Amino acid sequence: MNIPASELVERFYTLLWPMLRISALLIAAPVFSLQALSLRIRILLALTLTWLVYPLHDWPTIDPVSPEGLLEIFNQLSIGLVMGLVLQVVTAAILMAGQSISNAVGLSMATMIDPNVGNVPVIGQFLIVMSTLIFIGLGGHAMLLGMVIDSFNSMPIGKVLMGQAAWGQMVAWSSMIFLGGLLTALPVMVTLVFINIGLGVATRAAPSLNVFSLGLPALMAAGYVIMIMSLPIIGARIQWMWLQALLQTRSLVGLP
């Protein structure tokens, strides 16, 4: 079967646009951006999703080296990256919570090497693993792939550009880094504050006590116990943040 070269070029141009949006999402989104997923797996997954979504829409033929094509390339990459970065805000909030808990407990020097984010406190690494399991347990990966496929209906290629409102919503959502980190670490940190106050009162009442030799082991032991008791609350707040991130993603791409 002989296919004219012009038809091959036209099909490549139409296949390029969904491929760009899906590939940008896989680069930035949690779980899919992990180093455990090699570049070959990501490319294969992007090609598979593009091939599945290709027959569902009528794709415009835009020359990618024209001014209109260059603008559309930037637009498609922006849509995919923003969808992934909305979820990465939750990851940053969990890392901040882990750092705060580690500092309060006295484990700020105990760090592990994470190939995705660098040096991470041990408690932060534990929370990241727990949040990833919660995200997968919620079916967040499937919801995210479903949203990027549905986004071709709400934001058709060649017709809709990401506006100032979407970028402003993304900036406003980034405040969840601090709010989510505070809410996640709050049960442990508040309890440790009261323990520190009690140690201060005990040291004031009995100056012969060495606050350093007594306080650090007490804080570490109390921190572990409190964190174990607070895991259901921490897990519920991480689940709430993931759900809010998915709702933000749907809103950014214009889905109801």
Question: Using 50, 70 and 90 to split pLDDT, how confident is the model at 125?
Answer: confident
Tokens of 222: 């109390």
Other residues' Cβ atoms within 10 Å of the Cβ of residue 1: 2
Other residues' Cβ atoms within 10 Å of the Cβ of residue 227: 20
pTM of the model: 0.87
Q: From CA 243, how far away is CA 239, in angstroms rounded?
A: 6
| pLDDT tens digits along 30-40 | 888 777 777 88
Residue 115 has pLDDT above 60, yes or no: no
Tokens of 240: 């709430």
Q: What is the pLDDT of residue 22?
A: 93
Q: From CA 158, how far away is CA 235, in angstroms rounded?
A: 41
Contact 91, 116 (CB under 8 A): no
Q: What is the pLDDT of residue 181?
A: 93
Among 153-157, 197-201, 237-241, name the one with the lowest average pLDDT: 197-201
Where do the structural domains in the chain lie, given as residue ranges? 5-252
